[in-house]
Amino acid sequence: MGKNAKARIDMGKILSFVPTGEYYFTKGLKAFHRRDFIKAKKYLGRAIQLEPDEPMITCQLAIVSTELGEFENSNRLLHHILDELDKEMVECHYFLANNYAHMGFFKDAFHHAKHYLQLDPNGDFAEEIEDLIDLITFESEEFEDELYPQDDLILKQEKARGLLETGYFPKAIELLKEVVKEYPEYWSAYNNLALAYFYLGKTEKAETILADVLERNPGNLNALCNRLIFAHYQGQTKSVDQLVESLKKIQPLLSEHQFKLGTSFALVGEYELAYVWLKKLYKYGFDGDGPFYYWLSCSAYFIGYENFAKTIWKKVLDINPEKDGLEPWKVKDLSTNGFEDHSGAIFQKLESDYIEERLFALFLITVSSKKDEIITSKRINQNQKFTTLEKEYISQIRTGMPSITADAQEVAELFYEQHQPIGMIEAGLYLMWFSVFVEVSKANIQLKNKHAWAGAVEYVWHKLRSEKVSQQKLAERYGISTATLSKYVKLVNDLLN
């Protein structure tokens, strides 16, 4: 112990060390130069939490994401810089061009490459950009004429995928409808649109979209796989068996099609078939993302390759640390997509940009077996996205003190009595309720008749899903009169509109 340290102790003072964004940024850079990209990602992620508006930190994290093969995440960060932080940061276009080229989106790569040269023709990356353009165009003059700016398409596609993954299906539908209108032969958007409608409960609409895709683009593998997934979720055993038999005969050449086929088989519990395709991709060095390693690990585990499954799971956690606790040997039934005890899924929803998602996650904490562990975690206390409403909800969960969020909790508990475990489809009911609750809180409406609110929201939810349900039946379920239910249905519709 040095002399100065002893003097500080004698004086009774403790000098605390408070790390800054710059501190973690420096540690991230050092890890990056050592090519320890996992640690670099961890340190830079912490730096962004401390200094979210610093474009240099965000850009460096995007570069690390590229090195890890996480091209979509890298693109999201780079677009965030250009859209929100520093539109003059020209080098972002260089990194975007490289990412899109790696992903096979050559039109988008060309667009950003040309944009970089327009903004900074003598820039640090000008020579590399010109080489990239030569590579993309294959020195063909005709190819350049055929290219068109598709940046907007990719942005919307990535945003729609994020909305789907977080379960906010109405916003995803709105965005995907724009995409298919602008790009009428962009089949991926149609398939995602069908998924959004299906998870919202509009199964007939979803099936119609898939039928249209298969009529206009026969043999579209994504549409066939989505049909399998729809049949599985609807409990149509015969259809599932028939579709599995048909898909078993398909031998796709493209890695993205092999990935889709493998994950679709895994999702419906056909783990042996899933393992064949996913292990093949792994063997040949497929540059997979989190879902790839997740389903590979699950498939391996359920057909008996436990050691391999656990090895692959380490890759899952490297890419998505929030998956901790969702190991296939802990979660026995993957097909329900339940949330109750999935702390990783709850934390993911708490980071959503949508308040109704975050409120839904707070409710899920109350029915989780890990409630005490989650509600006292640092990730809750340090969440910068929480508004006053979420903070009040957290306080109510911890203390049990009466508040409007306690009333909202009671309504959600009424749903939980009817719909548990909570699956992907049922999540839409809770999201609708918390969307209504946000408007209720803004209008300072008192939630006096909880049963009426619950009955009305469920009725509107069923109608939105094109499901036949009578007001009398729901009124009986929640112990209210049909007149009261009708009154609250009108109120719910007004708030949603």
Question: What is the set of domains in the chain, with CATH numbers?
Answer: 21-151 (1.25.40.10), 188-320 (1.25.40.10)
Both tokens of residue 230?
A: 């729809």
Section 348-354 average pLDDT: 77
Q: Look up the pTM and report it.
A: 0.47
Q: What is the DSSP letter of 323?
A: G
CA count, 13 A, side-chain hemisphere, 245: 6
Residue 341 clears pLDDT 80, i.e. is over it: no
Interatomic CA distance for residues 279 and 288, integer angstroms: 11
Does residue 172 contact residue 196 with C-beta atoms inside 8 Å? yes
Distance CA 241, CA 113 (A): 47
Residue 465: per-residue pLDDT: 67
Most confident by average pLDDT, 333-337, 366-370, 420-424, 483-487: 483-487
Stretch 410-420: mean pLDDT, rounded?
82
Per DSSP, the three-state class of 265 is helix
Stronger pLDDT, 202 or 129, i.e. the higher one: 129
